[in-house]
Amino acid sequence: MKANNILKQIGLGLAITSLAACPAGAIVAYNFGSATGNQIWNDTLGETFTVNSQITVTSLGAFDPSGFGAFTPEVAIYSVPVVAGVLDMGAASLVSPVAIFSDGSYTVSGNTASIGISPVTLGAGVYMIAAAGLPSIYNSYGAPTVVGLNTAGGAITYGSLGQPGDYYGANTTLTGGFGSLIADPYGVGPVGRYGAGTFEFTAVPEAQTCAVAGVAMLGLVFIGRKVIPLRNV
């Protein structure tokens, strides 16, 4: 009986640990919290993030504290190559659809507008979430940091190459191509300084992790079936 209880406890521990690493609900990467617009900036803003283990992006979002009015913001994710330890912005490439926030195309929750997309899987590397054409943004320079950063247990980190990774550019649209869209790094201030673009994602665990959970659960069922007859003898 004691041996069975010990095996059950081990199996339960394996199941809980492994299931915790299996896909859960979508996570909002940049959570705009209590932010309200504190700066007029219709041009492009971008923030880099590093994917450490594979994620799947399911939605793109834009900061929307009081409605877009006549504006049609755009949000997209770009892959940014690292060459000799430096980000090569000139070689950045689009890896998601460009979400265009026109009337009726999006849903709003709090101060975030969202558009669902066909799932896009991002492997390890450096990426940028870029937003353009917003009527107003939140800029934490000289203001409290209210943008929450969700890492899914380290699946992603914010910034790149050990730097905050905040960028701005002069374009008001993303649909014309990346080009010189994000021209200048803004290395002052916290990681996640802008209320601008965001995305929802799920972490993609290694297949064997969920397999361990399945085996552990089956083991618990088997042990339970063996224990019951012993109690009835």
CATH number at residue 126: 2.60.120.820
- CA-based radius of gyration for the chain: 22
The predicted pLDDT at position 73 comes to 96
The predicted pLDDT at position 146 comes to 93
Q: How far apart are CA 129 and CA 99, in angstroms?
A: 12
Same domain, 12 and 36: no
Same domain, 12 and 61: no
3-state helix, strand, coil in the chain (%, to 5): 20, 35, 45
Same domain, 170 and 210: no
Q: Which residue numbers in the chain have pLDDT < 50? A: 1, 6-8, 10-21, 207-233
In angstroms, what CA-CA distances link 101 with 44, 91, 104, 114, 134?
15, 26, 8, 8, 10
User: How far is residue 168 CA from its own chain's centroid?
Assistant: 20
The predicted pLDDT at position 205 comes to 76
Same domain, 48 and 145: yes
**One-letter identity of residue 203:** A
DSSP single-letter state for residue 137: B
Same domain, 158 and 230: no
Same domain, 178 and 221: no
Domain with 226 in it: 1-22+206-233
Residues 6+ apart with CB under 8 A from 96: 57, 60, 76, 77, 117, 120, 199
Same domain, 121 and 213: no
Half-sphere CA count of 188, side-chain side, radius 13 A: 4
Rounded to 10°, the helix 2-20/207-232 angle is: 150
Same domain, 127 and 60: yes
The predicted pLDDT at position 175 comes to 78
The predicted pLDDT at position 186 comes to 66
In angstroms, what CA-CA distances link 80 with 47, 95, 148?
11, 10, 23
Same domain, 181 and 213: no
Residues 6+ apart with CB under 8 A from 149: 29, 30, 31, 158, 191, 192
Q: How far apart are CA 230 and CA 8, in angstroms?
A: 15
The predicted pLDDT at position 163 comes to 86
The predicted pLDDT at position 231 comes to 43
Same domain, 83 and 115: yes
Same domain, 214 and 169: no
Same domain, 170 and 129: yes
Tally of domains in the chain? 2
